[in-house]
Amino acid sequence: MLKRISVNKLILGFLVSMLMLSALGINYAVGEDGPEVKNLSLEEAVELAMQNNPDIEIAGLAVEKAKAEHKLARDQANDAKNDAKELDINTYEIDIAKRFNPKAKEVALVMEEKKRDVGEKKLKLDVERAYYDVLRAEKSLEIERAGLKYIQDQLKIAETAYKIGTKAKLDVTTAEAAVAGYQASVTRAENTYRTSVLDLNRITGLDLDTPLKLTSKFAVEKAGDSINLEDSINQALEDNVDILAAKKTLELKEVQYDVAKKFYGQGIIAYDTAEIDKQSAEATVRKQEVNTRATVRKSYLTLFSLEKMIDWQTKEVEKARENARVFMLKYEAGLSTSLDARNAAIDLEKAEQSLSNSIYDYNLTKSQFKYQLFTP
């Protein structure tokens, strides 16, 4: 009987230990069938996405299709040219077939090639965003767990003081309510972390349930002089699909305009609409170039303002952490209220989350310059 009780105690003790470790957020693989944790750096994540993401294959197929259609249009243009020569006739419709149609397919091919190239850069940028989403969610979970620990310590102090009659029951119930609130916040942060990992797994082509350990740090490496604003603007102008589309549309409208001018004069709809379309394409190019220049300059200013912001927020976190520590000691000594201690914890959490968000924004802005892709 005693032996059975001892065995039961050992089993109970093991289960309690595992529950405590689980509550602390420590994860262990369960058997050989359990998912293996994958170490993943930022560079490895980008490489995996380039290998596994179907968008790369889809873009490549679109280019091959555009090439085939361009070849067909050129063959048809040659046929139209030969027919016109043999019959000794030339009309607006024939000239459109000879000049405009192959030009249109050439423009389509150039656009698909640019979309493929820019799509690769965009995929890399999206991977980095997903990677930083996980790092930020991981940091947020760490902050929420630290906040929960702080409030749990406050609850222990309140319960001990209540037993010896130095604090009221209200202190205990208030601390209990705060603990429940922080537990809900931890659960919410855990869910955000899990969904962020799922998104990163999806974009890199990993199994959706793969647990990850990210090895690249969630920190700030200042850009310094590594970014040249004018070079960035020029590259952004070159890679902007909307600008290229506007320029290629302009080339196409110029061909259409030349054909219309050859056969018609002012007052004829085909001529007038071709001229208007040409002017509209020119205005679109100017508009897109101005917007792109403005967007890159704004990102440049944002980057360096974030550097100053992060320096300040780092000091604010240090101050808030010391303030929370002092108020907890005061509360334990009966020199401050539970509300004072809780507000100090809230101030610390806000300061840490603000710093985390700024680090996230800074790294994403740097990634935009890295790939020369900017969002207005």
- Region 105-112: mean pLDDT is 93
Q: Has residue 365 got a pLDDT over 90?
A: yes
Q: For residues 122-133, give the mean pLDDT.
A: 96
Domain count of the fold of the chain? 1
Residues of the chain with pLDDT > 90: what percent? 57
**Amino acid letter at 199?**
D
Mean pLDDT of 214-230: 88
83: pLDDT strictly greater than 90:
no
Q: How far apart are CA 226 and CA 228, in angstroms?
A: 7
- Residue corresponding to tokens 């693989």: 29
Which of 238-242, 305-309, 322-326, 363-367 shows the lowest per-residue confidence on average (mean pLDDT)? 238-242
| Residue 374 vs residue 10, higher pLDDT | 374
Which residue range forms the structural domain that includes residue 111?
A: 40-371
Instruction: Please tell me which of 49-53, 188-192, 300-304 the model is most confident about, judged by mean pLDDT.
Output: 188-192
Q: In this structure, is residue 209 part of a structural domain?
A: yes
* The pLDDT of residue 153 is above 90: yes
CATH number of the domain residue 172 falls in: 1.20.1600.10
Q: Does residue 96 form part of some domain? A: yes
Look at residue 269 and tell me whether its pLDDT is greater than 70.
no
* Per-residue pLDDT at 296 exceeds 90: yes
Average pLDDT over residues 281-310: 91
Task: Report which of residues 376 and 118 the model is more confident about.
Answer: 118
Residue 246: half-sphere exposure toward Cβ, Cα within 13 Å: 18
Question: 238 lies in a domain?
Answer: yes
- pTM attached to this predicted model: 0.80
37: confidence class by pLDDT, cuts 50, 70, 90: very high
Q: Is the pLDDT of residue 321 over 90?
A: yes
pLDDT exceeds cutoff 70 at 23: no
The answer to whether residue 257 scores a pLDDT higher than 80 is no
Looking at residue 374, what is its pLDDT? 83
Provide the phi-psi class of 359: left if phi over 0, else alpha when psi is between -120 and 50, else beta.
alpha
Residue 11 lies in a domain: no
DSSP run (H or E) holding 295 = helix 269-332
The DSSP bridge partners found for residue 212 are: 38
Residue with tokens 């970014």, as numbered in its chain: 227
- Mean pLDDT for 113-117 is 93
Q: What is the pLDDT confidence band of residue 32, given thresholds at 50, 70 and 90?
A: very low
Measured in Å, how far apart are the chain's first and last C-alpha atoms? Answer: 75
Residue 76 lies in a domain: yes
Q: Tell me the longest C-alpha to C-alpha distance in the chain.
A: 113
Residue 287 in domain: yes
Does residue 284 fall inside a structural domain? yes
Contact status, residue 211 vs residue 278, Cβ threshold 8 Å: no
What average pLDDT does the segment 231-251 reach? 87
So what's the pLDDT on residue 254? 81
Q: How far apart are CA 210 and CA 297, in angstroms?
A: 39
The token pair at 27 is: 């994860």
For residue 21, being part of any structural domain is answered with no
* From 54-68, 230-244, 311-325, the region with the lowest mean pLDDT: 230-244
> For residue 25, is pLDDT > 90?
no
Quote the pLDDT of residue 253.
80
In the chain, what are the helix, strand and coil shares in percent, each to the nearest 5? 80, 0, 15
Q: What pLDDT is recorded for position 268?
A: 60
pLDDT of 18 higher than 60 = no
Average pLDDT, the chain: 85
**pLDDT the model gives residue 34:** 62
